[in-house]
């Protein structure tokens, strides 16, 4: 037990904050830490408040830029990045695994090795919220229809009938949903989550964490610009989030890919961060995105 506390104490001493910004009464915060010889920038979106005042997530799975242009009027855009992995580089590429895009089924074929089901709500009291299910550990539970208090469970990854019914629910509910890699799940043990931290090539990483802090749900995008292996980066991200006081529920791997789109509100306007490492910076422009994860306020 003494060794455990010594380890935690050492971690707390080794994390250093470099800078921080806060907007909209602290609902959107940007904090950069150094830890384990790398920088970790946390883009923290609070879900505090009702549907009219909280910060919201939106996802466009395909033809993302045109959908974004049609949708963005009257909204203040705070952050944009890529989300799920796609089956190609063109703007009409489809996400890998099961996907419904704002009520339209895009991909009916599950990805067996992807354990995360992500549901983004586009309306009603849950608008802008994200639900994540670890499909290795439990079924996907949905309310069908909304407001009915009738709950149904599905196993869409491994059961064909459940898959059809689940996609039908996604269409009727007008939600967005997709499969992804869970690199951390509260449903799994430490050995299940981080048993192989050497997995994955070294590259820039970006993760989306769903967390609780002081009883409030937070969505936190964590950018790790220095090259790191997938699961080592996930473990370090979890440790930095722990240090910052978050109770981490899930961490998902986001696709930086060849285009590596990332824009962020700087207090005045939405600024392209140009995280793309090659010479063609046009690749990192929103116009060329295959899919987009967006945070905004009404």
Read off the pLDDT band of 282 (50, 70, 90): low
Q: Which residue has the higher pLDDT, 274 or 153?
A: 153
Residue 176 has a pLDDT of 93
Please tell me the distance from the alpha carbon of residue 16 to that of residue 46, in angstroms, as a whole number. Answer: 23
**Domain residues of the chain, as ranges?**
15-297
Q: Which of the residue ranges 160-169, 179-188, 284-293 would you say has the lowest mean pLDDT?
A: 284-293
pTM recorded for the entire structure: 0.91
Q: Which of the four pLDDT bands, split at 50, 70 and 90, describes residue 1?
A: very low
Position 30 pLDDT exceeds 70 = yes
Instruction: Tell me the pLDDT band of 15, cut-offs 50, 70 and 90.
Output: confident
**Rounded to an integer, what distance in angstroms lies between the CA atom of residue 256 and that of residue 262?**
9
Backbone angles phi, psi at 190, to 5 degrees: -60, -40
Confidence of residue 250 (pLDDT cuts 50, 70, 90): very high
Residue 7: the pLDDT is 44
More confident residue, 28 or 16: 28
């Amino acid at each position: 037990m003494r060794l455990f506390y010594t380890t935690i104490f050492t971690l707390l001493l080794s994390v250093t904050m470099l800078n921080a910004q806060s907007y909209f009464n602290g609902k959107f915060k940007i904090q950069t830490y150094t830890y384990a010889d790398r920088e970790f920038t946390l883009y923290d979106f609070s879900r505090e408040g009702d549907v009219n005042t909280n910060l919201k997530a939106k996802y466009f799975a395909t033809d993302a830029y045109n959908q974004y242009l049609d949708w963005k009027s009257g909204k203040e855009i705070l952050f944009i990045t890529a989300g799920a992995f796609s089956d190609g580089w063109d703007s009409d590429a489809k996400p890998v695994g099961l996907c419904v895009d704002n009520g339209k089924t895009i991909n009916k074929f599950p990805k067996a090795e992807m354990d995360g089901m992500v549901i983004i709500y586009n309306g009603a009291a849950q608008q802008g919220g994200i639900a994540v299910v670890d499909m290795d550990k439990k079924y996907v539970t949905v309310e069908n229809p909304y407001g009915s208090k009738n709950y149904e469970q599905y196993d869409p990854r491994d059961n064909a009938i459940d898959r059809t019914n689940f996609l039908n629910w996604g269409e009727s509910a007008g939600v967005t949903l997709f499969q992804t890699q869970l690199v951390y799940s509260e449903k799994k043990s430490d050995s299940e989550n981080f048993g192989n931290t050497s997995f994955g090539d070294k590259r820039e990483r970006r993760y989306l964490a769903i967390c609780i802090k002081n009883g409030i749900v937070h969505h936190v995008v964590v950018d790790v610009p220095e090259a790191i292996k997938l699961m080592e980066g996930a473990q370090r991200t979890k440790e930095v989030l722990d240090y910052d006081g978050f109770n981490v529920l899930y961490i998902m791997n986001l696709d930086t890919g060849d285009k590596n789109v990332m824009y962020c509100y700087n207090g005045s306007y939405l600024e392209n961060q140009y995280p793309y490492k090659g010479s063609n910076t046009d690749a990192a422009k929103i116009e060329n995105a295959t899919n987009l994860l967006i945070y905004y306020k009404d």
